[in-house]
Structure 1
Amino acid sequence: MKNIAIIPARGGSKRLPQKNIKLLDGFPLLSFSILFAQENSEIIDEIYVSTDDEDIKNIALKYGAKVIDRPLELSGDLEPTVSALKHVLQSIDCDVENVILLQATNPIRPENLLKQAFEIYQKQNCNSLFTVSRNYKKFGKITDQKFIPYNYKIGQRSQDIDPLYFENGLLYITKASLILEDIIISEDAFPLEIDHIFANVDIDTQEDFDYAKYLYHKHIKT
């Protein structure tokens, strides 16, 4: 049974048009996830890009990925990611055990991330794994024009508050059988904590892109 990588990359981004093929240091964003998958060929058997866009399709093919044409009804703004993953599994003729989801909007990842994650995934014998990072901010709600602390007490130091974590989007690993049930993160999912500056990159706006470009030149290009 195979492990496959799926990179969903639709063409209809509104906040940052054509973000999946926007050039970072001369390379389309999509290419970074394809190359990351290729560098992990000892784990990943096949790489698929799911898209509804001809330009994205051509770039995916240029960089050596296989392309699954995504139907328009699965390409809307409100369509969940799992529908694209499920469509890929239903469109290919091979026996898949695990799906590695790589988002094109997370173009830079720690070098050994997948090796580390897949080893833990197998050791934990769980149905899925996803990456998270700790958030040290003090959160609260505003009710009747009053700020009500959520995860801390007024005056409490940031380092002393109970930690909260966010789903950073760097990597997901899930049993293919679960995706066919419309599930990416299972109830027994292992949250792999990543303490890395790249975990703060998830490109939806021009500001996000500019920050990714800064980190790329500071930590990779140099």
Structure 2
Amino acid sequence: MNPNRKILALVTARGGSTRVPGKNIKMLAGKPLLAWTLEAVRHANLENIRLMVSTEDEKIAAVGKEWGAEVPFLRPSALAAADATSEAVVRHAVDWLDHHDHYRPDLILLLQPTSPFRSCRDLRDILGLQDETDADAVVGVTRYTRRLQWLQNADAQGILTGPLLPESRTRSTEHPAAYEFNGALYLIKTAVFMREQTFYPAHTRIYVMPPERSWDIDNEFDFLIADLLMQYQQKNGSDRQNFSFLK
């Protein structure tokens, strides 16, 4: 990888979660949820990287600093609302650093605390993929393993009206590979992001991750499963790269 590239690893963590109150600093297998993401970045030994948390919440800011991240500002409350976009939050952070620190990264690596199973290797590999291909962006995905022909439409009365996708009654083996965003990794050239205001510009590559590292915490059930998986890993001496119980 090019050691001269400046990388901003930006972890976005607002305090207003409704499905899981206090989610981003809720304890997951003995550590705040946010800490798992910060640890992965710190232990990946990436060169020329700046690790930062964007939040409006003072408690989250304190946890971020405790686990090795910069928290140079508290973001405006308007950017902590439920309808605030990730694009707006990232743009604010980039503009703040440019104005206050005269710092402009070459790449932005957006990380959400709700994906605690991404590994150090994932971080190194997605950066390596971007370096090798010079892609404008790389996004984390996982293979869509459910049967596409099972996706169905229904009307307002609950009556089945047919397949969601055209010609989706065929065998699943006949469908091309399908992928879904897993929310774990978003990597983009800063110049491209600031120009296009999207994480999915025209030249976007995928970085494929297995389901066990693509677990996204959105509700209490997701949190419970993640906690059990993390405890299993700790008990059995495995790590986020090696789920021995899934082999």
- Give the TM-score of the pair, scaled to structure 2: 0.83
1:42 alignment partner in structure 2:
46
The count of aligned residue pairs is 220
Q: Which runs of 5+ in 2 are unaligned?
A: 237-247
Match of 2:123, SS state, is helix
Q: Which has the larger radius of gyration?
A: 2
Aligned to 2:29: 25
What letter matches 1:50 in structure 2?
Answer: S
Q: In structure 2, do the counterparts of structure 1 residues 116 and 176 end up closer, same or farther at CA, with 3 Å as the change threshold?
A: same
Superposition deviation, residue 221 in structure 1: 4.4
The alpha-carbon distance between structure 1 residues 43 and 159, as it changes in their structure 2 partners (threshold 3 A), is: farther
Q: In structure 2, how many angstroms separate the alpha carbons of the residues matched to 1:178 and 1:221?
A: 43
Q: Could you say which residue in structure 1 is the equivalent of 2:244?
A: none
Query: Following TM superposition, by how much is the alpha carbon of 1:183 offset from its aligned partner in structure 2, in angstroms?
Result: 1.9
Long gaps (5+) in structure 1: none
Matches of residues 39-78 of structure 1 in structure 2 within 5 Å?
39-43=43-47, 45-67=49-71, 68-78=73-83
Contact map agreement 1:136 1:159 (CA 8 A) in 2 = no
Q: Which amino acid aligns with 1:90?
A: D
CA RMSD of aligned residues (A): 1.8
How far does residue 88 in structure 1 lie from its aligned partner after superposition?
1.0
Which of 180, 185, 189 is 1:171 aligned to? 185
* Counterpart in the other structure of 2:204: 189
Alpha-carbon distance change, 90 to 159 in structure 1, aligned in 2, over 3 angstroms: same
Within 2, Cα distance between the matches of 1:75 and 1:179? 20
For 1:117 and 1:197, locate their aligned partners in 2 and report how far apart those are by CA, in whole Å.
17
Deviations 1:161-204 (A, max 9, x none): 333211001111111123323222211110112224121x1111
Equivalents in 2 of 1:185, 1:44: separation in Å?
24
Of the three residues 207, 214, 221, the one matched with 2:228 is 214
Change (3 A) 1:172 1:153: closer
Residue deviations 1:101-126, cap 9 Å, x none?
11001011134111111111111111
Question: 2:143 aligned to 134, 149, 152, which one?
Answer: 134
| Higher fraction of strand | 1
User: What is the TM-score normalised by the length of structure 1?
Assistant: 0.91
Is residue 198 from structure 1 mapped to residue 213 from structure 2 by the alignment? yes
Q: Is the 8 A contact 1:6 1:102 kept in 2?
A: yes
Counterpart-to-counterpart distance in 1, 2:181 and 2:79: 23
The share of aligned pairs that are identical, in percent, is 26
